[in-house]
Homo-oligomer: A and B are copies of this chain.
Amino acid sequence: MESSDLKKAGLKATLPRIKILNFLESSGRDRHMSAEDVYKAMLESGEEVGLATVYRVLTQFESAGLVTRHNFEGDHSVFELNDGEHHDHILCVKCGRVEEFVDEVIEQRQHAIAKENGFAMTDHALYIYGVCGDCQKK
């Protein structure tokens, strides 16, 4: 459906790419998914795409700015559809819940710190880990 988005991103509108993009757009709550997550979820919904293709396409989407890659799990990457607005994440170490936030003070301090150290900042990753409200009750 969104083959226009793909072409705009300089990517040929192939069936696997369309399927994966559609899938990411329709995965409301669980926005943050690993390649394996995407692969399995698509299998279950009958949309067959090779695992290697999922990895390739997600990486291409990242380069094209369609998705963002995160490494807050340490041992594997998770991806989320890029909605244009940057945000950071706070994660529950018990249940895996993920909340998003933006803090202008932190954003500004980061730029200041980069400048202080003579760096031209290109990116940053901020992950806050903790126990969410629900998990504290248990």
Point out residues on A near B: beta carbons under 8 Å: 71-72, 74, 77, 90, 92-93, 99, 101, 103, 105-106, 109-110, 113-114, 116-133, 136
Contact = CB atoms under 8 A, between A and B. Distances in A.
Contact of A90 (B113, B126, B136): B113
A74 B71 CA distance: 6
A128 B133 contact: no
A100 B133 CA distance: 32
A38 B114 CA distance: 29
B122 A93 contact: yes
19 contacts: A72-B125, A90-B113, A93-B123, A99-B119, A101-B116, A101-B117, A103-B109, A106-B109, A106-B110, A119-B128, A120-B131, A120-B136, A121-B128, A121-B129, A122-B129, A123-B128, A123-B129, A123-B130, A126-B126
